[in-house]
Amino acid sequence: MISRYRDRQIFKNDLDIYKELFRNRNVKFINTFETPRYIFPNGNEISKIQIITHIWSVGDKYYKLADIFYGDPRDWWVIAKFNQKPTESHVKTGDIILIPKPLNLVVNYLRG
C-alpha cells in the first residue's frame, strides 16, 4: 500500500482561528500534516493508464472499491482524487466512477 502521508511534512499549527479548540483541548498548538497538492494526469499520462469504469450504486464506498480493485481499502483516496470527487457525498447513484490502474503509476502522476 502506498501511504498518502509519505513525503508530507508535519508542521506546528498555532493559528489564531483554532484558539478556542486549543483552549478546549488544553493545548497551545497541534501538529498537522501539510495539505498535499495533487495534479490531474495530462492526456499523455492518461493514455498510459488502464481505466475501469464502475457505475455507482447504493452501498458503494470508495474504500470498498479500493479493496476490490487495489487489494487495500486504504487506497480509497486515489479513486476519489482521480474522479475529482473528494467524498462519497459528491457521488450520486448512477454516476460513472473511473478506477485507474496500475496504482503506482497513477499515484506518481497525481503527485506530479
Tens digit of pLDDT for each residue in 33-82?
A: 877 778 889 999 999 999 999 999 999 999 999 999 999 999 999 999 99
pLDDT at 31: 87
- 31 and 47 in a single domain? The answer is no
- 63 and 98 in a single domain? The answer is yes
Confidence tier at 8 by pLDDT (50, 70, 90): confident
Q: What span, in angstroms and rounded, lies between the C-alpha atoms of 36 and 34? A: 6
Q: 65 or 13, which is more confident?
A: 65
Q: Is the pLDDT of residue 20 over 60?
A: yes
- 52 and 99 in a single domain? The answer is yes
Q: What span, in angstroms and rounded, lies between the C-alpha atoms of 80 and 88? A: 8
| Pair 36, 8: CB distance under 8 Å | yes
Domain containing 24 equals 1-36
- 101 and 78 in a single domain? The answer is yes
Q: Which residue has the cell 498537522?
A: 32
Displacement of CA 32 from its chain's centroid (Å)? 17
CB contact set of 22 (below 8 Å; sequence gap of 6+): 14, 28, 29, 30
- 53 and 32 in a single domain? The answer is no
- 10 and 55 in a single domain? The answer is no
